Structures are given as C-alpha cells and as structure tokens.
Amino acid sequence: MYRNLRGSPTAVLAASAVAQFVVALDMAVVNIALPAIRTALGFDPLGLSWVVHVYALTFGGFLLLGGRACDLYGRRRLFVAGLVVFGVCSLAGGLAQDPCQLVVARAGQGVGAAAIAPAALALLTTTFTDGPRRVRALGVWSGMNAVGGALGVLAGGVLTQYAGWRWVMLVNLPIVATALVLVHAAVPAESRPVRRERPDVLGALLATGGTGLLVFGVVRTDVQGWASKGTWATLGGAALLLFTFVLVESRAAAPLLRLGLLRSRWVAGANLLVFLAAAGQFTGFYFISLYLQQVLGLGAAATGLAFLPFCAGSVAGTIAATRITATRSPRASLVPGALLAAAGMAWFARISPHGGFLTDVLGPSLVTSVGIGLVFAPAAAAATAGVRPGEAGMASGVFNTARQLGGCIGVATLATVAAHRTGTATDPGALNAGYALGLAVTAALCLLAAVVAVCVLPRRPSLTGSPAPHPTAPAALVKKRMEGTSS
C-alpha cells in the first residue's frame, strides 16, 4: 500500500495538511486551559503567561532558520525531524510535574513547529507546480490551518473541562503519529546533495536572535508596558540585530534570506498582507474568547462551541478562494476577503455587555471567517509564486514568519490598547468597552490589508522585471521565464 502512495501528490497534501493542522491546533488549544494549569502546577500569574509566550518566542524566532534548513538539508528530513521534536515535547508537556518542565516543553514545541510549518508549505509548493492544482492544494493547507485554530479553542475547552488540562498537550500525539505515517508513505527520501552549501551561521544567529528578541519584547508589554525602558531596550536590540542581518545577507554567498526575493511585488505584498491579516485574525480570536468568558460568563466548553461558526465560515471561504483563484489573479479573492474580514470585525466591535451569542457573535463570526478563508490560501500562493525549488523553504519560512509575527504583535499591541480603555475596572461593562475598542482597531488592520492587496500586488502577470510571475501561470511559462532571467 505504501508503494502506491509513494510520490502521490494527494498523499503529500494529506501529510502537509495534517501537520499544519496540529501546529495551528496547538497555538489555540492551550489558552483556555491556562486557569486549570495554574491551579495544578502552582504557576504564579507572571510565570503562567510564559506557557503561551515561550511557544510564540521559539516558533517565531526559528522560522527563517527552519525554512532555509529545508532547502539545504531536505524538506522531508526537516519535516520528520520537526514532527518528532514536536511530538516528544507534547508528551513531555502532558507529563510535566512543575512549571519549569512545562515551559521547557512548550519551548521545544515551538522549535518543532518552526521546522514543520515551512517544510509543509515547501513540500506543497514543489509538489504542486501548476496554477490551479497549486491553488487547490494551498486551499486545503489554508483550510486545515483555519480549522486547527478554530477547533483548538473548542478542543481546549472540552478537554480541560471533561478530561483534564494534560490532554490539551497529549491530544497532539495521535495527530503527529498520523502525519509521520503519511510522510513516510508518501514523500520519497531525498538524495544528499553532492555539493552542499555552507550554512549561513551568522545570518541564522542574527535572524533567530532578532526575531526572537522582537517577539520577547512584544509579549512582555503585558507586564512592562510599551513606554518602559525595558521594552524600548529590547525592541531596540531586536532592530539592531535585524538591521545587521540585512547587511550580512546582502553580502553572503549563500544567504539565509536572499533579499532579491523580496523585490517581487507578489512576494513582498503577500507577506505584508498576511502580516496584517494574521494580526486581525489572532486578535479577533483573543478578544472574542475573552468577551464570551468574562462578559457573557460562558464556561470553557461553551466558549469552544461558540467558535464552530468560525470553523465553518473559514472552510467555506477557503473553498470559494480556490475556485476564484483557479483562473483569476489572487487579488480577486484577497481584496473582497480582506474587506469582508474588516466588515465582520467592525460588526464585532458593536458587542454589548448585555448581548448574547445569537445577537453579538454568530453573524459577525460567519462574515469574518469567510473573509479570512478568502485571504490565506491566495496569499500563500502569491508569496511563493515563481520561487525556484531550491528556495521554496526560504519563501515558506518568510511567509510563516510574517504570519506568526503579525499574530503575536497584533495581540500584544491591541491587548494594551484594550487594557488602557478598561483601566483597573473589572465589571462586564468596562471590559466590554476595552474589547470593543480592540476589535474596532482590528477591523482597521483588515481594511489596511485590503489596501495592500489593491495598491501593492500587481494587477496582472508581468513577464519582465519581476522574479515572481502570476501565481496561476502555467508551470512551463514559469520555467521559461526563470531560464530567461538566469541568462
């Protein structure tokens, strides 16, 4: 049976989709379990936040390195290694007996995810090279990403309430095992390159240090505040490291990130757009989860069930996106998708302390999630369009980094905005006012993503002057153009 699956594009897609599902699931499933984790392991309030923050720190910090490692050492190898690390650390987290053990396990999960995410996307972009099939595959990948995030909230609530908090970690194990079986059966082993490029060690250190310090500075603003000296020092250090990274990469013979990749309007525009869209998506999840629990008083399981419309809408939007972009430019899906997401978030901003699920959550959930579904698959197609196979991991790492940093920075920034409006009050009315303000700013971010799609992404494919042709261009045209560029 395995021999029949070897090299099958459908099986490769299944392996990538399952792996991306577990990464997205893990980003959401732990949040609702935090109160139970604090009680069970004796976390102090400050230490508890690191259960979430350390995952974001290692995931965001190692994504560029993970993406480039896919190109140098093989996408299959990195994919399997990331799954193994992620699975082992999920088991360690589920068995943790003290706060330190759980935080270390979460850090290891982030490192594993930083290898899985770019490897999964790179496998797809190199397996599906022609336009319509590629967009459909990326649609499935994007849909699983959205479903994983939405079901993560549901699973977190149900597992915490009925099985115990440890299962929010242990639930990853059967999913990881499924992905390992699929990749073993479907993806052929890669031959070792005769001449392997020397790894860009300095670039890797600067990129990992810079992005990691950026994430660290942002997530710590919930304690130190944006105006504190510690925050400014951390963010200033991150800016210095990333600026040095750009200088080093511009001179490196085999760079971690070839800066010319970002000269493409498709690549640069898609990454900027996904940064803004991810900030909107993650922040919307954050505020609606708090609204349901702290204003409407729903329990963990009920809060998870309330996110099912997000899941259904995201799938519907993704299906629509694959049909739209099969024959048309990604802009045809990205612009209406970002506008729909903005409209849904603006609708969410009208939440009331005396509202309910049917009146304040259901309608905007469907509008927002359909818009989000219309965005991410075409954005992934645009961000990896025309990229040489040897740089597929690099482009995938950049895309995943943009998405992760957008979500992290968006939540941290708008949580501060909401807290400033709320002040020290804890009554439902004051909390509602803070969440409504945060959701209104989130709507503005989604609207800005639509502006990027209109103003930055090319209107039509250009055969000259850009290394990334139209994402739906035939593979033969892409190949012809790359040969012309190299000559």
User: Is the confidence at residue 20, as pLDDT, over 70?
Assistant: yes
Is residue 420 assigned to a domain?
Answer: yes
- pLDDT, averaged across the chain: 83
> Which domain covers residue 244, as residue numbers?
201-255
User: Is the confidence at residue 244, as pLDDT, over 90?
Assistant: yes
What's the whole-number mean pLDDT along residues 424-446? 91
**Residues 232, 291: one domain?**
no
Segment 316-357, tens digit of pLDDT: 998 898 888 877 888 899 999 999 999 999 999 999 999 888
**Residues 10, 49: one domain?**
yes
| Long-range pairs for 349-357: beta carbons < 8 A, 24 or more residues apart | 349/436, 349/437, 349/439, 349/440, 349/443, 350/436, 351/291, 351/295, 351/432, 351/435, 351/436, 351/439, 352/432, 353/295, 353/428, 353/429, 353/431, 353/432, 355/296, 356/296, 357/292, 357/296, 357/306
Calpha distance 21→16 (Å, rounded): 9
Q: What are 242's two structure tokens?
A: 């990333």
**Residues 264, 386: one domain?**
yes
Banded model confidence at residue 1, pLDDT cuts 50, 70, 90: very low
**Residues 250, 366: one domain?**
no
Please tell me the pTM assigned to this model: 0.81
Residue 438, classed as helix, strand or coil, is helix
Banded model confidence at residue 131, pLDDT cuts 50, 70, 90: low
Calpha distance 155→131 (Å, rounded): 35
Banded model confidence at residue 479, pLDDT cuts 50, 70, 90: very low
pLDDT at 483: 42
Is residue 487 assigned to a domain?
Answer: no
Banded model confidence at residue 86, pLDDT cuts 50, 70, 90: very high
**Residues 88, 210: one domain?**
no
**Residues 244, 301: one domain?**
no
**Listed ranges 23-32, 118-127, 273-282; the one with the highest mean pLDDT:** 273-282
Q: Which residue among 227, 255, 283 closes a domain?
A: 255
Banded model confidence at residue 394, pLDDT cuts 50, 70, 90: confident
Domain of 357: which CATH number? 1.20.1250.20
**Residues 383, 266: one domain?**
yes
**Residues 91, 141: one domain?**
yes
Is residue 193 assigned to a domain?
Answer: no
Banded model confidence at residue 3, pLDDT cuts 50, 70, 90: low
Residue 224, classed as helix, strand or coil, is helix
**Residues 279, 367: one domain?**
yes
pLDDT at 466: 38
**Listed ranges 344-358, 377-391, 448-462; the one with the highest mean pLDDT:** 344-358
**Residues 246, 350: one domain?**
no
pLDDT at 486: 40
Q: How far is CA 36 from CA 299, 388, 450, in A?
A: 13, 47, 39
What's the whole-number mean pLDDT along residues 145-149? 78
**Residues 57, 19: one domain?**
yes
Banded model confidence at residue 470, pLDDT cuts 50, 70, 90: very low
pLDDT at 193: 53
- Provide the number of structural domains found in the chain: 2
Cβ atoms of residues 300 and 32 within 8 Å = yes
pLDDT at 191: 60
Banded model confidence at residue 452, pLDDT cuts 50, 70, 90: very high
